[in-house]
Amino acid sequence: MKLLAHLMMAAVLAAPVYAAAQDTKAPAKADLAKGEAKYTAICAACHGADGNSAIPANPKLAGQHPAYLVKQLQDFKAGKRNSAVMMGFAAVLSDEDMKNVGAWLAAQKPKTGFAKDKDLVALGERIYRGGIPDRQIAACAGCHSPNGAGIPAQYPRLSGQHADYATVQLVAFRDGARGNSLQMTQVAAKMNDREIKAVSDYVAGLR
């Protein structure tokens, strides 16, 4: 009888756990059609119809990691990343919208770019691949990968990104205008204008 009582008690205690497991639903998959529709309506004018912005000041988003895109949109919406324009657009997006838009952009083929400054590209390559050891600046490739593809979901794709946009972001990290990545703030804080420009130009030509 004691054994039976113990077994019955174990079953009672386990029941809520089992029920909770049964009630847990897998996260809904992103809806690419809805993502495309929302992107076209809100984002395409600045970032291009397929996420390949033709405007140097606006980033290319095609092929970017979806989780990274969602985080940036959430940071804009919450005011953790400062941009009057992007804060306004992000404010009208729900978490589901952001997920759908991020997934759709990730599925788009990114267009390659090219470096423009021959005098700086060699310096940019040295910093990107080897860092600046005497100032404890880590190689960019360690987080963003040797070919600039990035590492989901924390480290974004940089390959082919507009040099103008990359420069502005690195300066913003360095000067404290952008504070939603402690790692990038710490790295950029040690870089001068010439080094930032060199890395940005090199990244534009990565593929």
At position 144, the amino acid (one-letter code) is H
What are the backbone dihedrals phi and psi of residue 185, each rounded to the nearest 5 degrees, phi first? -60, -45
At position 66, the amino acid (one-letter code) is P
Residue extents of the structural domains in the chain: 32-106, 118-204
Q: Which of 46, 70, 95, 206 lies closest to 140, judged by CA?
A: 206
How far apart CA 169 and CA 146 sit, in angstroms, is: 20
* CATH domain 118-204 topology: Cytochrome Bc1 Complex; Chain D, domain 2 (1.10.760)
* CATH domain 32-106 topology: Cytochrome Bc1 Complex; Chain D, domain 2 (1.10.760)
Q: Quick one: DSSP state of residue 189?
A: T
Please give the helix or strand (H or E) that residue 193 lies within, else none. Answer: helix 193-204
Q: For position 61, what pLDDT does the model report?
A: 98
Identical fold for domains 32-106 and 118-204, yes or no, is yes
Residues recorded for the chain: 207
Taking the chain (207 residues) in consecutive chunks of 10 residues, what is each chunk's mean pLDDT?
41 38 62 98 98 98 97 97 96 98 98 91 96 96 96 91 98 97 96 98 96
Q: For position 2, what pLDDT does the model report?
A: 45
Residue 109, phi-psi category: left (phi > 0), alpha (psi -120 to 50), beta (remainder): beta
Q: For position 20, what pLDDT does the model report?
A: 39
Q: For position 22, what pLDDT does the model report?
A: 43
